[in-house]
Chains A and B, each alone.
Chain A
Amino acid sequence: MKNKVIFMSFGILIFFSTFTYAAGRKIVPGDIIFTAPVKSVIFSHEIHVNKEHISCNICHSTIFNTRALNLQKNKNFNMKSFCKGRYCGVCHNGKIAFSVKTQCARCHIGVRGFERSDRAVKIPKMSSFMPKNALKFGTGNFEAVFSHKKHIGVHCNNCHTKIFPFKYTVGSITMNAIKNGQYCGKCHNGKIAFSAINCLICHSKLSKQNRHTAKH
């Protein structure tokens, strides 16, 4: 009996410790492998987010567009502008992180590095790291639901971080503001997407229980 209790408590301990460990790690996009102007340079989200604990907001979308490989089409996306403190050079200047002028092969993985890497991770899939659960705004029966899954055709750039920050905040999102074309109303104006007058699509709890009160 005593042995059983000890065994079970160990089991619970292990279960919770793994659970909290998994909860502490963020699900991140895969590695981005740039192929221009030289082949090839690796950027690891895993290292920057889970090891160095850098928030998405620091780079996106002020320094880096969330459309990863769009960047390498820029003419000034090269070592010269990094050295002047643009792009990676914002942090990699020898003060915040190691300078771009040193340790070349830390990021440059070369032609063989490109071939070795899994092709699937070269352009990260958005669905792999966006929040799985629907975001909830408001309380009680007036709760509105936003699902990332249903917005999968929309690129991150369209909302983040111009309209919404990456971090979940309710802030001053009101129906009045939305009707005036702020927040959700930027798209949900009846032209780009369905109008915000269709309450029940987002306020789904209303539709089940208080359908009558909502109509009036």
Chain B
Amino acid sequence: MITKMERREFLKLGLAITGVSVGGGFLSVVSNLKGAFASTEEYRKKYPYKPHYTMLIRQNRCIDCGECMKECVKTNNVPGYGYRTTILERYEKNAIGLKREFIPMLCMQCNNPPCVRACPVEATYKDKRTGIVRMHYEKCIGCKTCILACPYDARYFNDERHAIDKCDFCFDARLSKGMKLPACAKVCPTKARVFGDLSNPNDEVFRIVHQMQKAVWVLRPEVGTKPNVFYTTSDREVSDEK
């Protein structure tokens, strides 16, 4: 016989557990579709980005060869103590078969960026045209509030510039000079990083983000940042890619 009080406790416990699995998990299944759709449908009217730069990461393709990081350092003069993009590693000892996964990380170019809100001098801002979160390096006072605000640990303090530096999809180094791809997406040997335009319905990224057969997720959806970097898996052979 369960008393009312016990039942209440039980329900509380259940709630707490759901809270943990949604809130604490790096890969949350619950808000996959919401996370994927929210970025375009909700925000398209509010921020008319053209092109809406975005990156799709086919996570199971990443083999941690480090080519993207190497090319990023070369292109953007990233010092040894910081990174604009990195690869996280997860090892599950008790998993069946495949036990390791690599998760490429970079600035999520959030639609709702906490770093922009945190900056006291408006040195970091959401670009009105492309949607990329960029830096006014000369405005930055180096208070590092944005590093604390960023849920993805995507920013570092650059001593040489005496300013915070971060990934800008290579806008300064490549995109603004007419090149189509950021350095990391260009060199990836397994085509794990797909760079695209979310405002273009014919774009590969648009088509993958707006389908429902295959899971598409974002990192840490619970913080409500609405990232523009999506994660998915790919069953297609690497050799089939152009």
Contacts and interface: CB of A to CB of B under 8 A. Distances in A.
A109 B239 contact: no
B100 A39 contact: no
Interface stretch (B60-68, B109-117, B202-210): B60-68
B65 A108 contact: yes
A30 interface: no
Most buried by A among B64, B65, B67, B100: B64
Interface stretch (A10-18, A99-107, A137-145, A200-208): A99-107
A79 B239 contact: yes
Contacts of A108: 63-65
Given A38-B189, A79-B239, A80-B239, A109 B64 contact: yes
Contact of B98 (A39, A103, A111, A112): A103
A216 B61 CA distance: 72
A104 B66 contact: no
B65 A79 contact: no
Interface in A95-122: 98, 101, 103-106, 108-113
B87 interface: yes
Interface residues of B, number: 21
B237 A111 contact: no
A56 interface: no
A106 B98 contact: yes
Contact of A112 (B89, B101, B237): B89
B239 A110 contact: no
A98 B65 CA distance: 21
Nearest to A103: B98
A105 B66 contact: no
Given A101-B237, A105-B101, A106-B99, A38 B65 contact: yes
Interface residues of A, number: 17
Contacts of A83: 237, 239
A79 B100 contact: no
B232 interface: no
A79 B238 contact: yes
Nearest to A84: B239
A80 to B, nearest CB: 6
Interface centre among A101, A105, A110 (most CB of B within 10 A): A105
Interface string A73-85: 0000001100100
Given A80-B239, A83-B239, A112-B89, A106 B97 contact: yes
Given A80-B239, A83-B237, A101-B237, A111 B65 contact: yes
A110 B65 contact: yes
B90 to A, nearest CB: 10
A137 B66 CA distance: 53
Nearest to B70: A111
A80 B238 CA distance: 9
A206 B62 CA distance: 63
A104 B104 CA distance: 15
Contacts of B237: 83, 101
Most buried by A among B63, B66, B239: B63
Contacts of A109: 64, 100
Contacts of A38: 63, 65, 67, 189
B139 to A, nearest CB: 35
A75 B190 CA distance: 18
B125 interface: no
27 contacts: A38-B65, A39-B65, A39-B66, A80-B239, A83-B239, A101-B237, A103-B97, A104-B60, A104-B190, A105-B62, A105-B64, A105-B98, A105-B101, A106-B97, A106-B98, A106-B100, A108-B65, A109-B100, A110-B63, A110-B64, A110-B65, A110-B66, A110-B89, A110-B102, A111-B65, A112-B64, A113-B64
Top 8 nearest A-B pairs (CB, nearest first) are A110-B64, A108-B63, A111-B66, A38-B65, A103-B98, A105-B100, A106-B98, A104-B63
Given A109-B100, A110-B64, 10 more contacts: A38-B63, A79-B238, A80-B239, A101-B237, A104-B61, A105-B102, A106-B97, A106-B100, A112-B89, A113-B64
